[in-house]
Amino acid sequence: MNYTETVFCINEKMNIIEVKNLTKKYAHLTAVNSVNFNVQDGEMFAFLGPNGAGKTTTIKILTTLLSPTSGTATINGFDVCQQTDEVRGSFGIVFQDPSLDDKLTAEENLRFQGWLYNIPAKELKERIPMLLEMFELKDRAKDLVEQFSGGMKRRLEVARGLLHKPKILFLDEPTIGLDPQTRNKIWEYLRGLKQKEHLTIFYTTHYMDEAEFADKVIIIDHGKIIANGTPAELKTQTNQTTLNDVFLFLTGKDIREVNISTPEKMKGSFGH
């Protein structure tokens, strides 16, 4: 009986991310407050919320950069606190702020990544030109990253995040400050990868049009999840026509005073 149940579970779509009662407390603030959600394998998952809502803190916990105060999270079946190496090998990430080595070339940045992820030399030799080609950076491969525009750096970061063929790609506001052409291009690549390689994409964004094409949307505010469903479901539930309206309906129209003294922002401004 038990056996058949197990088989049944495997045939079901697998949860590649499982988050249970996840909480992160700082001295004067609860950044993430008992959050629960699952992400299915191959899903495009938008994680939305106003500034300071707890998005980046959640991503940092899921990517082993922070440890939670309580609760659990698994990535690709591995516990983010206990099995850090397996977790780290399972995802690629594009951070909110730039994270390339400016003094190295595009190619060198990728090569370093390949070494860090222990990609065999032969495979690396194939994948680096392939990714540079795909993200239209091939003719700049040997240029120092400090000479790149913001859009080129972003594309290189996405390429770097994909180098070791992760199961999940985390993107924390990947298109912030980019022109519509570059934004469009980056999403085009990512949607292609989701279809071709069944990549799970977990992203945050403030551009609500970028959340419209998500399979699943979660809205978090003050560290708590306030909405969870497909874009269509959320629109029906709130009786709104666009996700932008849904977002404003649920989180209010007041501008958030993100106090610089809150721990998350302190980490943010001094931490990178």
Partner 1 sequence: MRALLIIWYRDLLRFLRNRLRIVSSLLQPLFWLLLFGTGISGSLRFSGGQGTLGNFNYTEFLFPGVLGMTVLFTSLFSAISVVRDREFGFLKAILVAPVSRVYLGLGKILGGATVSTIQGFLILVLLPLVGVKLRLNFIILFPLVFLVAVMISALGLLISAQIKTTEGFQMIMQFITFPMFMLSGALFPLTNLPLWMDILSKINPATYGIDLLRQTTFRLLGLPDAVRQAFAITLFGKPVSIMTDILIIFVFGTIVTIIAAKIFARQEK
Residues that bind partner 1 (CB under 8 A): 60, 63-67, 84-86, 88-89, 91, 93, 95, 97-104, 108, 112-113, 115-118, 160, 267, 270-272
Least separation in angstroms between residue 196's CB and partner 1 is 24
- By C-beta, is 229 or 268 nearer to partner 1? 268
Nearer to partner 1 by C-beta: 74 or 251? Answer: 74
Nearest distance in Å: CB 63, partner 1: 5
CB nearer to partner 1: pick between 229 and 263 = 263
Best CA proximity match to 202, nearest among 188, 218, 186, 189: 218
Tokens standing for residue 237: 């539930």
Of 50 and 92, which CB lies nearer to partner 1 in the complex structure? 92
**Shortest separation between residue 269's beta carbon and partner 1, angstroms:** 9
User: Minimum Å distance from CB 93 to partner 1?
Assistant: 6
Smallest gap from residue 27 Cβ to partner 1 (A): 14
What would the DSSP string read from start to end of 54-95?
A: SHHHHHHHHTTSS--SEEEEEETTEETTT-HHHHHHHEEEE-
Q: How far is the CB of 77 from partner 1 (least distance, A)?
A: 15
Name the residue nearer to partner 1 (CB basis): 9 or 116. 116
What is the distance between the alpha carbons of residues 219 and 97, in angstroms, rounded to a whole number? Answer: 22
Cβ atoms < 10 Å from Cβ of 136: 13
Q: Which is nearer to partner 1, 19 or 93 (CB)?
A: 93
Which of 210-216's residues contact partners 24+ apart within 8 Å by CB, and which partners? 210/46, 210/175, 210/183, 211/46, 211/48, 211/243, 212/242, 212/243, 213/44, 213/187, 214/44, 214/45, 214/46, 215/40, 215/43, 215/44, 215/45, 216/39, 216/40, 216/43, 216/44, 216/45, 216/46
